[in-house]
A and B are shown apart, each in its own frame.
Chain A
Amino acid sequence: MILAKVIGTVVADARASTLRGQLLRLVQLLDGRTLEPKGGMYVAADVTGAGEGELVMLSSGASARKAVGLQHAPVDLAIIAIIDEVAGASGTIYRSTQKEGAL
């Protein structure tokens, strides 16, 4: 899986019938040590309701379609989890600001 940040939303009315109902988010891949942008920007189907600015875990390829509701969708990248916290050698380097409010 891949660590990424949700940076936007993609709106697309004309879509394959099998893609209907899927939320499409713009994601930026991150360096796992610094959490700085590293790598490309992609569009992922979102089954978690992740908001812009949140760190997420992506699954790619056929595995992405194991996510709930994506079995028959033409999707090769999916947001399958919202990250609450990331710790590195120097301790916690990320803590979701959404977490306390949500729980």
Chain B
Amino acid sequence: MILCQVVGTAVSTRKDAQLQGAKLLVAVEVDPQGQALEKGTMIVIDAVGAGRGDIVLVATGSAANLTPQTTHSPVDATAVAIVDTVFSNGKVMYSSGG
């Protein structure tokens, strides 16, 4: 899985029927400190109630379908957890509290 920061939300009216009710998050991949990497932006489905600014854990590929919200959806990236803290080498690399 990858760490991403939610930078926005997207809205779609005309979409696959199985996407009805799905919340779309605009996300960028970040490093363990929460700093954005030089990679493209992606849209991920929200399975945890994440909002703008949150660092989320994104599952990709068929793993994206293994949440109650996405079981039958044609999606390949889902936010499956909101990250509270990242620890490395005895130090806090990232904390949602700031």
Contacts and interface: CB of A to CB of B under 8 A. Distances in A.
B87 A43 contact: no
A11 B32 CA distance: 12
B62 A61 contact: yes
A12 B83 contact: yes
Contacts of B43: none
B82 interface: yes
Interface of A: 7-19, 24, 26, 41-45, 52, 61-62, 64-65, 72-77
Rank and list the top 6 A-B pairs by shortest CB-CB distance, nearest first.
A8-B88, A15-B81, A12-B81, A76-B63, A74-B66, A16-B67
23 contacts: A8-B86, A10-B57, A10-B87, A12-B82, A13-B84, A15-B48, A15-B80, A16-B66, A16-B69, A16-B80, A19-B81, A24-B57, A26-B93, A43-B1, A43-B57, A52-B88, A61-B62, A65-B63, A74-B47, A74-B65, A75-B63, A76-B60, A77-B1
Interface of B: 1-3, 31-32, 47-50, 57, 59-69, 78, 80-89, 93
